[in-house]
Structure 1
Amino acid sequence: MPTLTHRPLWLAVGWSLVALVTVLSLIPAPQLPHVGFSDKIQHAIAYFTLMAWFGQVLGARLRPFLALLAMGALIEVLQGMSGYREMSAYDQLANTVGVGLGWLFTRLLPDLLERLETRLP
């Protein structure tokens, strides 16, 4: 696990990102901002960001990897139950691709956040 001086701050940022992804995933689609590219890319970017962030804080471990896969699946189920969003296997596939790429990113650059911390005052 990385040695981080500001671990509580980084975890708070990570959990804030989880909350943001959850809210954006569960609000009615017309309320979402239009960004001009496929929602599948948005899913992959969101879950890449979550895995890359938690990977930097916790290391490229199996637990955050599996937790984010479960989060994506649960959100898809909740969307299907909402009555105003749709459950999609393709969205879950995009989530999974994002988590996998985030995990790979963490394996390739495991100490990025540690290096950033050494430059903070």
Structure 2
Amino acid sequence: MEPLQRSRLWWGLGYLLIAFIVVVSLVPAPDLPDLGIDWLDKLLHFAAYLVLMLWFVQINPPDRYGFWMRMFIKMGLALEIVQGMIGYRMFDLWDMGANVLGVLAGWGLGRAGVNRILVKVEEVWLR
């Protein structure tokens, strides 16, 4: 894996992404528009955790993917449990499943070689 030239930036943005997901998971839920998609909430959960894991496969060597996969699965499970405890959000096993599937999809994409996006961004940016 090629080292990133702006790794501190990418790590900082990754931690902001984690913070964003934590905050959005714990503030009162917004009213989602009715787009005729019954599972829109689950798609959003899946997409958030897919992006999160895919981000971290960009900034880590492959031998660290498993660590981040386990951490993000635990984070998704813990946030769902906390949502069930805070009163204005609710615990949902389907959300939990969507979080886990998103992490696994990001991990799988990283293992399949989709782990050079930020390298390409830097190549264009730093020309």
TM over 0.5: yes
More helix by share: 1
Q: CA RMSD in A?
A: 1.5
Q: What letter corresponds to residue 98 of structure 1 in structure 2?
A: G
SS of corresponding position for 1:58: coil
The corresponding residue for 1:106 is 110
Deviation at 1:2, TM superposition (A): 4.5
Matched, 1:16 2:16: yes
Unaligned runs of 5+ in 1: none
The corresponding residue for 2:55 is 53
Q: What letter corresponds to residue 34 of structure 1 in structure 2?
A: L
Checking the alignment, whether the CA contact within 8 Å between 2:26 and 2:89 is kept in structure 1 is yes
Identity, in percent, stands at 34
Unaligned runs of 5+ in 2: none
The corresponding residue for 1:6 is 6
40 and 4 in structure 1: CA distance in 2 versus 1, 3 angstrom threshold: same
SS of corresponding position for 2:46: helix
Taking the aligned partners of 2:19 and 2:31, their CA distance within structure 1 comes to 17
Checking the alignment, whether the CA contact within 8 Å between 1:2 and 1:59 is kept in structure 2 is no
Deviation at 1:105, TM superposition (A): 1.8
Q: Per-residue displacement from partner, 1:62-109 (whole Å, max 9, x unpaired)?
A: 011000001001101110110111111111100011001111222231
Matched, 1:117 2:111: no
| Stretches (4+) displaced over 3 A | none
Q: TM-score, normalised by structure 2?
A: 0.86
Checking the alignment, whether the CA contact within 8 Å between 1:11 and 1:57 is kept in structure 2 is yes
Q: TM-score, normalised by structure 1?
A: 0.90
Which of 74, 81, 87 matches 1:83? Answer: 87
The corresponding residue for 1:96 is 100
